[in-house]
Structure 1
Amino acid sequence: MSGTEADRAFMRTALALAARGLGNTWPNPAVGCVLVSAEGRIVGRGWTQPGGRPHAERRALDQAGALARGATAYVTLEPCAHYGKTPPCAEGLISAGVARVVSALTDPDPRVAGRGHAMLRDAGIAVTEGVLADAARALNAGFLKRVEQGLPFVTLKLATTIDGRIATASGESRWITGPEARRAVHAMRMGHDAVMVGSGTALADDPDLTVRDMGAPQQPVRIVIDSLLRHSPDSRLGRSAAAAPVWMLHGQDAPFAAQDGWRATGARLLPVAMAGGHLDLRAALRALAEAGLTRIFCEGGADLAAALLRAGLVDELVHFGAGALIGAEGRAALGPMGLQALAEAPRLQRISQDSVGADVVTRWHCS
């Protein structure tokens, strides 16, 4: 494990700050920075602000002022080395007279990719890399996947009864889980760049997919996978598109009238290739990554959930389990998976399990 115990303790603080930016900083990573004086006192703290700027280092330096000279900077990702809308953070640390920089990860962005660390070392600043790298990698899994694979990190949420049902035979589903679980879902929405559903869920529930009653700094992008744009622009999503972003992913054969109707609401339309009569989900996610999204929270129905799992496009599954039973006539949580043998079933790795009100939430890593 890299770094001293003090280094790891201060990096944990920086990681906690970075987490405050999740869902708000795309296409930039969520970064945290702590400036610590030679006497071991924190003199500056910062995290990436909504929209991606100011960067964490700039916020911490502004807070520390002259106290940054001779301090150690703990940063969860390598300081940037390129000129964009603002000067490089590596340059800011150098100008402030920081004596040492401790980082968790090298930034895989080709514009950085080690150049930030090199710039600091060339200026005579001591650099320690790799402190709590695994924790930093998990925190910024979305940004890293977008840069390295051209895809966003996808979290699939399922809320089911003990017997795996999401609704009665008539479609009644409010509410499978309790108020505490529903509030936890809103917190998860807030930590993602976007919330995504399929056309079936949009048509059945007419959702608004916003974060409510949590003081969200900005609303997530609301995405509907709707090949023929069947969902009406006069829906809750359409009527609120000017206030919070709505993106509609559709096929080339979507009616022009429907496309015009959604454009009139202020929604963004992203055409995607078709495959087997449905939108190509991998192509759809690539389009979302190209548009800057790094973390997608999928609350789609059974068919979209199964399609994402079949295609190996789910990174994490969050399951809310309610102590209720509906029976075989109820609607299943997953559509057809196309399995011929048990050995073909996806095997997930449990990350955590906790109680939330009367329900149980389990997080699974999808390998």
Structure 2
Amino acid sequence: MLHLSDAMRLAVQASEQVRGTTSPNPPVGAVILDVGGNVVGVGATQPPGGPHAEVVALKQAGARAFGGTAVVTLEPCDHFGRTPPCTKALIESGVAQVHYAVSDPVAEAAGGARALAHAGIVVTAWHDPAPVTQGPLRAWLHRQRTGRPHVTYKYAASLDGRCAAADGSSQWISSVESRARDRLERTRVDAIVVGTGTVYADDPWLTARAPDGTLADHQPIRVVMGERDLPSGSRVTDDAAPTRIVRSRDPMDVIEALDDCLDVVVEGGPTVAGAFLRAGLVDRITAYVAPIVLGAGPAAVADAGVGNISGAIRFQCESVDRLGDDVLISLIPR
């Protein structure tokens, strides 16, 4: 028998596995427990046009769902879109209870809890939505609130805030463990943004890869912003992943070009980072801090529009993790 909190963790894990593949739909996870509390179905939202998490989990559970419990990361939808409403599938399955972590903020899809309760199902809103709102649904919920993609500025730096040495070399500031985590994260985002300066300096590939170096099934869109033409043969122009060239230095132009995305990561150099911070378009920072001192070289951010300490762009710490000898700090705006 699985405790409900464990079932919710399993649902969150399922949603995390499909993050980056469901846009513009939310990456939802669902778990079905039978009457004895045993897991009989686990599902996650499929790419657009495919079934939602509840339908996937219910199909796996089959008749064992009758009288059981559904645990879902997002309130089941109650409207016809590309697929029928999930409330209909849950009602027809005969589940007795539904627990959901986050209410659906989309007006046309909301009302699922009410529809389920009207059908005689016991419906409960989860007591702690943070693992979902700060986890796999973070970017989608941000999109519903603001109308634009969620932007994370990600960088690796030395203890003294340098993203490269005095000669421009930067491989590798971060640890093996940090780079492995970063490769995994690339499989779960919609787009990666760099500037033309980074392409000239490093010729990055910007692809998502498995630990053995092979290309992952899901590839984020590679976005290069700037007014210069790219060097001939730049790796970002090959066919390993889609690429969008935005001939502008304005971060808002990039945001407009990524209107179909939920989760965007800025990996550009100091100039691009400063431009996004100056424009107020950074919703989170993930900083990989390595235990090294460089003493010289470019800082992680340039020209963020801060003239004095009172104008500092302030963040608050959301989490701190150890990756080998590195420290990964996740920060959100105050």
Please report the TM-score for the alignment, with normalisation by the length of structure 1. 0.84
Change (3 A) 1:326 1:134: closer
Aligned residue among 269, 284, 292 for 2:254: 284
Aligned to 1:357: 324
Q: CA deviation at 1:121?
A: 2.2
C-alpha distance in structure 1 between counterparts of 2:148 and 2:157, whole Å = 28
Structure 2 counterpart of 1:195, which letter? I
* Counterpart position of 2:235: 236
Of the candidates 135, 141, 145, which is equivalent to residue 144 of structure 1? 141
Where in structure 2 are the equivalents of 1:15-26 lying within 5 Å? Answer: 15-26=12-23
Which residue is equivalent to 1:322? 290
Note closer, same or farther for the CA distance 1:51–1:205 as it changes in structure 2 (3 Å cut). Answer: farther
Q: Structure 1's 169 and 35: CA in aligned 2 closer, same or farther, altered over 3 A?
A: same
Residue identity in the other structure for 2:114 = A
Take 2:93 and 2:229, find their aligned partners in 1: how far apart are those partners? 56
1:259 aligned residue: none
| Whole-angstrom distance in 1 between the partners of 2:233 and 2:177 | 31
For 1:1-367, list aligned pairs within 5 A: 6-51=3-48, 53-114=50-111, 116-139=112-135, 140-214=137-211, 216-226=216-226, 228=227, 230-232=229-231, 234-240=233-239, 243-251=240-248, 278-279=249-250, 281-288=251-258, 290-291=259-260, 293-328=261-296, 330-367=297-334
| In 1: Cα distance, 2:186 partner to 2:88 partner | 35
Q: Number of matched residues?
A: 329
Deviations 1:269-304 (A, max 9, x none): xxxxxxxxx32x23532442x32x111111110011
SS in 1 for 2:181: helix
Pairwise CA distance, 1:195: 1.4
Say whether the 8 Å CA contact 1:7–1:131 is kept in structure 2: no
- Quote the Cα distance in structure 2 between the aligned partners of 1:119 and 1:207: 50
CA distance in 2, matches of 1:27, 1:320: 29
What displacement does 1:232 show?
Answer: 4.1
Give the C-alpha shift of residue 67 in structure 1: 0.8
Kept in 2: contact 1:352–1:363 (CA 8 A): yes
Aligned structure 1 segments of 4 or more residues deviating by more than 6 angstroms = none
5+ unaligned residues in a row in structure 1: which ranges? 252-277
Equivalent position SS for 2:292 = coil
RMSD: 2.0
Helix, strand or coil: the match of 1:352? Answer: strand
Write out per-residue CA displacement over residues 107-149 of structure 1, whole angstroms, 9 at most, x where no aligned residue. 11232122x2222223222211244222222221100111221
The alpha-carbon distance between structure 1 residues 249 and 109, as it changes in their structure 2 partners (threshold 3 A), is farther
Q: What letter matches 2:313 in structure 1?
A: P
Q: CA deviation at 1:82?
A: 2.0
CA deviation vs aligned residue, 1:305-344 (integer Å, no higher than 9, x gap): 111112221121111122222223x112111123222121
Deviates more, 1:164-173 or 1:303-312: 164-173
Letter of the structure 1 residue corresponding to residue 290 of structure 2:
A
Structure 1 CA distance for aligned equivalents of residues 325 and 101 of structure 2: 38
